[in-house]
Chain A
Amino acid sequence: MTEPQATPPRYSIVMPVGSRFDDLGELLAGYREALDTAGASYEFIVVLDGPNRALLDVLSRTAAADRRIRVVELAKPFGESAALAAGFDAARGAMLVTLPAYYQVDPQEIVKLLAAAGEADDMLIAVRWPRAGGVFEKLRRGSFHALFRVTSGMAYRDLACGVRLFRRTVAEEITLYGDQHRFLPALASRRGFRVREVELRQSPKDQFRSHYRLRDYLHRFLDVLTVFFLVRFTKKPLRFFGTIGFFAAGLGGIVMAVLVVQRLFFGVLLGDRPALLLGSLLIVLGVQTFVLGLIGELIIFTHASGMKEYTIRRVIQAPATLPATEADTAGLADR
């Protein structure tokens, strides 16, 4: 690690290194060459997700030669989201760039990414295009993004690509945990940040994992569900649970009503009806789901003061009362 420089650089590059990585020396050289081509002032933060002796040696040598490179080592593997968050904490630049530790886009394309950022953009995400891959690969990718589009209502083409450029405020406002780094664009756009996709050339060395285990699919699916829930119902859990509970209890109520009518008017004894169990089971399930939603509401109510539902872009006011007409967004939101 080096001591902080006097003026913070414009770009902070954060590269989380997890279990999957390519030749870091070569990759770093490629990225740095591109950054130098772009003439960017930058710092490069490599976050090792868990101790790795060999990697640390390689990186330390590089870092010793260039004080713009810093290495953060996590005490144990916490996952990519946590690694990114640690990197963001260490970052000092106004713009953050995340880069994967393996080949996804051609390193030279970083120049294009930096150049594409306009005043109106809060976040740029890379789309590997044109994209290699067989039919099965395309199908798998397509169905994941389609599922995400259906559940969240947001269309993205390449959420798996880790190349992203965004303002510092995005990282300050969104807490990443679990596997959510993949959905950072969705979470950001939900908070009102303007997210745009940029097509970058795919690196020829970009490898697909040849086989996915069933567990991987299940994880992706649960991730999508988590985001779906986070995005749609965090503020109003009862609208989610309540609807499910209402249908279950309603169905149970109908079963019960049918049984009671048959008992009263047709003389079919209730004690002989196993359907009675089905009806009561559905009612029990419905009520329990509903009550879970109510507890969710209690949690939101008691913690509402801790979460801001809005972000202020700026406050406009006559200069007579306050010298600054444009107040710092983050500062105001925290007030």
Chain B
Amino acid sequence: MRMKQPEISVVVPLYNEEDSVAILHRRISDAMQLADLDYEILFIDDGSRDRTLERAAAIAVQDPRLRVVAFRANYGQTPAMAAGIDLAEGRVIATMDGDLQNDPADIPTMLAVIDEDTDMVVGWRKNRQDKLITRRIPSWIANRLIGRVTGVPIRDNGCSLKLYRASVIKRVPLYAEMHRFIPAMASIVGARVKEVAVTHHARQFGASKYGLSRTYKVLLDLLSIKTIIEFAQRPLLWSGLLALPFIVASLVTLVAAFMPLFSPGGQLMLPFAGTGLLFGALALFLLLSGAVGELVYATGNVDLTRYSRISAVRRDAHD
């Protein structure tokens, strides 16, 4: 183990990037040495089926600053990032894509932005080198939506080039495909986020691994994130808000059902009464679900009070 904590750990998940590995390693090393940073590099091989691991391993034997972590199988980008973040030893952790579309030369600039008031810097691909229709327009809509829903207005959630204070990001639960929402997840624990414009290169090797098909999944994930954030901040309010339209609907239909009784010869409107009761039951169910949600938070491993004392953590990090 190195005695001194490196200034920055660069974490790069790799999946079938045999052509990029060597270039990537050289670019990162050059950028770090140019800025005179004490750094380490972590390549996470996410069960690649090509020669990525062999090539990365060959470099690792030469360069003591590089660690290559080999996964047993292909688990996905988020677990790869999570593994890198778990193993990183630096004060600041940078994550980036392995496809050479991010430029490591941006890292020193972004590092300078992390200070007393900023825990996280996200890259913003100002001149994005991707197809307009299938990549950039959906991404623009998605970013607006994510910003609106999560309350963390970032112009480019999809950019993998991000820097985090290690003490903050190591506390954010990362699982499933949550890497897209790291800024939002981190905001739950009180992280303050800034945005920096970064260079974006066109893809040199290999094929893009994403397409339009993920939209549906992203929408559902977004809903999960919204719920998680709302519960973390105002637990019962969220379920109360969900229940409100059904309470109103229930009252309206019940009134409509019973109204005729007040006029002579009127009869109870059964379909209305049934609907009113159903909606009323749903509202109650939602409120109770909110209570269950509270219970889940109370028994879970996520200690939100611990997160709110970020300033104390940050002082440690500077010592």
Contacts and interface: CB of A to CB of B under 8 A. Distances in A.
Interface in A272-308: 272-277, 280-281, 283-284, 287-288, 291-292, 294-295, 297-307
B175 A317 contact: no
A235 B176 CA distance: 6
Contacts of A315: 67-70, 87
A299 B79 contact: no
B256 A317 contact: no
Contacts of B224: 236, 238, 294, 297, 301
Given A310-B80, A318-B62, A277 B275 contact: yes
B293 A298 contact: yes
Interface residues of B, number: 67
Contacts of B228: 297-298, 301
A321 interface: yes
A318 B61 contact: yes
Contacts of B239: 291
A86 to B, nearest CB: 26
Given A277-B275, A298-B297, A309 B175 contact: yes
A220 interface: no
Interface stretch (B25-33, B193-201, B266-274): B266-274
Interface in A302-332: 302-307, 309-322, 329
B209 interface: no
Given A242-B220, A317-B60, A304 B73 contact: no
Interface string B83-126: 10011000000000000000000000000000000000000000
Contacts of B47: 192
Interface string B215-253: 001001101100110010000000100100010000000
A118 interface: no
A148 interface: no
Interface of A: 191-193, 235-236, 238-239, 242, 270-277, 280-281, 283-284, 287-288, 291-292, 294-295, 297-307, 309-322, 329, 335
Closest 6 CB pairs of A and B: A302-B300, A192-B73, A192-B72, A304-B173, A271-B269, A318-B64
